[in-house]
Each structure stands twice: as C-alpha cells, then as structure tokens.
Amino acid sequence: NAGVTQTPKFQVLKTGQSMTLQCAQDMNHEYMSWYRQDPGMGLRLIHYSVGAGITDQGEVPNGYNVSRSTTEDFPLRLLSAAPSQTSVYFCASTKGQVSEAFFGQGTRLTVV
C-alpha cells in the first residue's frame, strides 16, 4: 500500500518557468490538500479538494492552480515560478470528517 506518492522529490526551476507537482493516493480518500512548509512558518494550505471535480483555495493560493479529475490524483501547477515559491511542498489525503491527514514525502522546490 503506497499511501500518498509525490513526484518529483527535488526540482530546480528558473524564474518564469512552469511545472506540475504530481500527487497520487491509493486509499480512496475523498479529501486531498496541498501544503507548503517554509522555515518558521509551519505548514500552510495552498489548495484543497473535497472530491473529484471540486477544488477550492486555501490560505496561500496565489501562483498555483489545481484540478481533480479523479479521486486518486491531485496535481499542483505552478504557472510562472517565482523565488518566493521556493519551499517544500506536501500533498495530503484525508478519509473523512474525523480523520488524520496522510502526507506524502514532499517535493523540495528551488526557484532561481
């Protein structure tokens, strides 16, 4: 059972480039979320989805897009990378309303 799988683990982008961070879960969880972790700031919510076809913005959504065409996949798109998006990105899935979130291993992104 793989749980939550994120790819890639590391990525370096130039300012202005675009890319997609992949996230897949095999637990049939309805809820999926993207967080970023920055030094001294904990994890902050970027976007979330409560089911296939349903997404919404979190605390820090600017510069990111998401879509959820299947229950399993929840990709995060950086439209035009900026140095301020240098961070560690975590994808998570949650089973229901009284449940912990299961996290992927993270993607460390550096924008130069």
Partner 1 sequence: DQQVKQNSPSLSVQEGRISILNCDYTNSMFDYFLWYKKYPAEGPTFLISISSIKDKNEDGRFTVFLNKSAKHLSLHIVPSQPGDSAVYFCAASAGGRTYKYIFGTGTRLKVLA
**What does the binding site for partner 1 look like in residue numbers (CB under 8 A)?**
4, 31-33, 35, 40-45, 48-50, 58, 90, 94, 96-106
- Residue 4 to residues 21, 34, 39, 45, 97, Cα–Cα distance (Å): 13, 12, 23, 17, 18
d(C-alpha 32, C-alpha 34), whole Å: 7
Q: Any idea what DSSP says for residue 93?
A: E
Q: Shortest distance, CB of residue 61 to partner 1, whole angstroms?
A: 12
Q: Which is nearer to partner 1, 14 or 39 (CB)?
A: 39
Q: Shortest distance, CB of residue 53 to partner 1, whole angstroms?
A: 15
Q: Is 83 left (phi over 0), alpha (psi -120 to 50) or beta?
A: alpha
Q: Shortest distance, CB of residue 22 to partner 1, whole angstroms?
A: 15
Q: Which is nearer to partner 1, 17 or 61 (CB)?
A: 61
Q: Any idea what DSSP says for residue 60?
A: S
Q: Which is nearer to partner 1, 14 or 100 (CB)?
A: 100
